[in-house]
Amino acid sequence: MTISRETDYAIRIIRALSRGGRKKIDDICQCEHIPRQFSYKILKKLEKSGMVQISRGAGGGYVLAADTRDLTLFDVFKSIEGDLLLSDCLGHGFDCPMRGRGKGICGVHKELNRIQGLLLGHLREKPLAEILQYADIPA
């Protein structure tokens, strides 16, 4: 499992916005070394999830709409990636070819499900504020 570049950029955007105040897209991109072309799409996803507020117009910009003490890595991953699945077989509606062979859930599926539960639990356990304080780069 790999953290996508888009999710990495989303975490960095939140870090830039967590420093307070309204930020312009160019300031965020320059501070966090994010290509501008990715930023708009990511900021729209973060807005949709309620993490970022977007103001348009001459005095517009981006502000953090959620407290990083209430957000976790899971929240960011979910807003950018959607469902977090180690394997397609863990997705809703997956038609497992092993189902119905008299053994119930496939052993591989069962183990992947256990590991995914652990991973999601870890992603939910630490507030983003704690993570960002150690990874802060001076503005």
Residue at 67 is within a domain? yes
104-132 pLDDT, tens digit per residue, is: 667 777 888 889 889 889 999 989 999 88
Residue at 37 is within a domain? yes
For position 84, what pLDDT does the model report? 80
For position 102, what pLDDT does the model report? 54
For position 105, what pLDDT does the model report? 66
For position 139, what pLDDT does the model report? 47
d(CA 1, CA 116): 11
Q: What is the pTM of this model?
A: 0.82
Q: Count Cβ atoms below 10 Å from residue 42 Cβ, excluding itself.
A: 24
Buried b (16+ CB within 10 A) or exposed e, 79-114: bbeeeeeeeebbeeeeeeeeeeeeeeebeebeebee
Residue at 96 is within a domain? yes
Contact indicator for 17, 23 with CB cutoff of 8 Å: yes
For position 97, what pLDDT does the model report? 67
d(CA 121, CA 51): 21
Domain that holds residue 17: 5-134
Alpha carbon 54 to chain centroid, angstroms: 18
Domain count, the chain: 1
Name the stretches of the chain with pLDDT < 50. 139
Q: What is the CATH number of the domain that holds 39?
A: 1.10.10.10
Contact indicator for 71, 15 with CB cutoff of 8 Å: no
